[in-house]
Structure 1
Amino acid sequence: MQKNNRRITQPGKDTFNKEEKPAPLQVLADFCDTYKLDEANEILWECITTAISKSPSVYDTGRERSNLLFFYEKIKVLIETVYTINAQQEKPNPKQAGPKSK
C-alpha cells in the first residue's frame, strides 16, 4: 500500500532528489514497492474519471477529454513497463552470477 509522501511537487519542477537522480532503477523499484500494479492502475483510472466527470473542468471540450484519454493510455503503458523493468531487475542474471560450486 501507499507510503507517506516524502514531498509534493508542482508541475514543471524537477521531482528527482539528489539520491534518486543517479539511481533511476531504484526509483522504479520504490514505485513498485509502494503500489501494486493493480493499485497503480486503479488510482490512475480514478484520476481520469474524476477529471472527466467533474463539472466545470479543464476537460470540458471533447478535444481536451480526448487528449486526456490519450495521455491515460500512454501512462498506463508506461506504468506496466515500469513493473516489467522492475521484475527483470529483481531476477538474478545467470551471466552475472559467480562461478558454480562443484
Structure 2
Amino acid sequence: TLIDQGNIIISGDLEEIKKKEGEDKLVLRVNSEDSIAVEDVLRNKFGLDFQKVNDEYLITKDAQHTSNEILQELLNHVHEIISFGQYRPSLQDIFVNKVGGEANA
C-alpha cells in the first residue's frame, strides 16, 4: 500500500502493481553507437514516445505495435541489443507517477 498525506493512493500485491504500472512501457539498452538508429526506428517507423538516460531507453508502447514488432525492427537496424523487455518501475517511480511530484527518498 502506498500512502500520500494519509490517503491510500494504491494498494495490492507489489508484483501486480509493478506489472500494471509498467504494462505500456518497454526498456531497451544498446551501445551508444546505435543511438541514432534506435531513435530513428522509434520515432520515424513507429511514432513512439521515449526517454533516454545514457544508453537506456524507456519506451511508451501504443496499441498498434507489439513488443515483437518493435524488437524485430530494432534488430534490423542496430548492431547489438544488450537488453530488451517489459519495464518494471520502482516503488519510487510508481509513487512519483501517482502523486505527480518528487518523492522524498
Asked if these proteins are the same fold (TM beyond 0.5), I'd say no
Decide which structure has the larger Cα Rg and report it.
Answer: 1
Structure with more contact order per residue of length (Cα contacts < 8 Å, sep ≥ 6): 2
TM-score (norm 1): 0.26
Query: 1 or 2, which has the higher helix percentage?
Result: 1
